[in-house]
Amino acid sequence: MKLWNRNFSIVTIGSFISALGSAAAGIAFGILIYTKTGSPLTLALFTIANIIPRVLTNFLCGPFVDRNSRRKIIISIDYFYAVFFFVLAYVLFRGYFNVWVFTIVGAFLGVIDTFYQTAFMSLFPEVIPQEYHSKAYSISSLIWPISAAVMAPVAAFFIENYTNGTAILMIFNAITFVFTASIEILINVKEKLNTNPVEAFQFITDLREGIHYYKKERGIFAIGVLFAAFSFVYAASDLLRMPYFVQSPLYDIQHFSFLITAGAVGRMVGGVVHYLFKYPVDKRYLIAVSVYVTVEILDATMLFMPYFLMIILSFIVGLLSVTSFNIRMSATQTYIPNEIRGRVNSTQALLWNIGAILGTLIIGLVAEYAGIDYRFIIMGAASVSLSAILLIPIRMKHEFVRIYNVDV
């Protein structure tokens, strides 16, 4: 069976279309909050408000996704998003802005998106033919980079040149969700769900089964903890990079958008490389760890460079990040059994979200009150991820090799 069958094509095309809108809306919302308030701590609290509901929702999300059609979940949420962003665009056209109201909106979207992402991650492996997982995740890794590369400069242009630029971008986002949901209806896949009898407080039983899986598979749990540390560090650059460009006398939002585009283009090239070439199976662990170290160092020092070097380093980080994503996702999603994948994915997301919350809050407080150059804060945060690499994948080499060095 070929990779580009009906189901895989629909899922991939639909994801790309909706990602275009989401990329534009995400960039616009962050810039809107910071330019209106001028406070990195307020931006941090807005970000945390989007993450905390994900943590709480994860306890219910995995068991629910394992027992219900993932296809129906993502279609329903896509249609809901279409209506929601049309309403949000109308509110913005009216000139309304209240940081606390929008923070609540961000929290609400965090709940909905948790169900969506867990359902999508659990459905995606079921539309991939056997022996095509590496290629499929290479293609998946291209979706967001291409969207960001295209939409970052477009979003910056609309924000800088139109009074209602953010509202226009929200309308575009709504339209992409209408299109995506409409073609996802055509997906025809026999889903493998958890069909065990439902008991009282079933979600507790289901969650317990997911935790028990971690006790048996220490490597999967270790991967979750490692990426929780990465999420802590990424929170620093995600939070402070845009404000650094806004405050700088040398740069503006357009410069920031081109940096995003450079990283996205790097991811695109990396995705193409993964699609065309297959890394040696016995080298996947070594490649992954080398990439982890290199990415953390380059990302931490990027803003100290002249702008043309920032662009080059952003490209390289994007290129290497795809390697990390492809090896991790193709290995873990084929390693975890279908009937428990939703619960494990939701627990993994829980760990990552905890790391992101701690990172965003701590980095936001430091940036707001310490008076330290944002670049030094980002570089200091990297010590967390570099330490995690030494303590987890290097120290637990046997467990990681068993998961990463498989033929997918």
User: Higher-confidence residue: 389 or 330?
Assistant: 389
- Shortest CA distance to 27 belongs to which of 175, 139, 172, 231? 172
Give the confidence band of 114 by pLDDT, cuts at 50, 70, 90: confident
Share of the chain above pLDDT 90, in %: 32
Mean pLDDT to the nearest integer, 45-53? 84
CATH number at residue 157: 1.20.1250.20
313 three-class SS:
helix
Domain around 274: 6-404
Query: Would you state the pLDDT for residue 128?
Result: 84
Residue 338 CB: number of other CB atoms within 10 A? 16
- Domains held by the chain: number: 1
Q: Under 8 Å CB-to-CB from 118, ≥6 apart: which residues?
A: 58, 61, 62, 65, 342, 345, 346, 349
Angstrom CA distances, 242 to 103, 196, 217, 311, stand at: 19, 48, 39, 15
Q: Which residue has the tokens 């570089």?
A: 379
**23-27, 264-268, 335-339 — which is least confidently predicted?**
335-339
Q: Using one digit for the tens of pLDDT, what is the confidence trace for 170-195?
A: 999 999 999 999 999 998 888 777 66
153 located within any domain? yes
Burial of 97 (0-12, 13-18, 19+ CB in 10 A): middle
Report yes or no: 395 and 270 within 8 Å, Cβ to Cβ: no
Question: In this model, does residue 204 exceed pLDDT 70?
Answer: no
pTM reported for the whole predicted model: 0.73
> Does residue 276 form part of some domain?
yes
Angle value at C-alpha 328, between 21 and 310, nearest 5 degrees: 60
In a domain, 1, yes or no: no
Cα(181)–Cα(117) distance, integer angstroms:
15
Residue 18 lies in a domain: yes
Residue 272 falls within a domain, yes or no?
yes
**CA dist list (Å): 136 to 14, 124, 379:** 15, 9, 34
Q: What letter would DSSP give residue 196?
A: S
| pLDDT tens readout for residues 127-139 | 888 777 777 877 7
Closest CA relative to residue 344, chosen from 120, 66, 51: 66
In a domain, 59, yes or no: yes
Q: pLDDT digit string (tens) for 260-273?
A: 889 888 888 887 78
Segment 113-129 mean pLDDT? 84
397 or 121, higher pLDDT: 397
263 in a structural domain: yes
Rounded to 10°, the helix 307-335/218-247 angle is: 160
* 111 located within any domain: yes
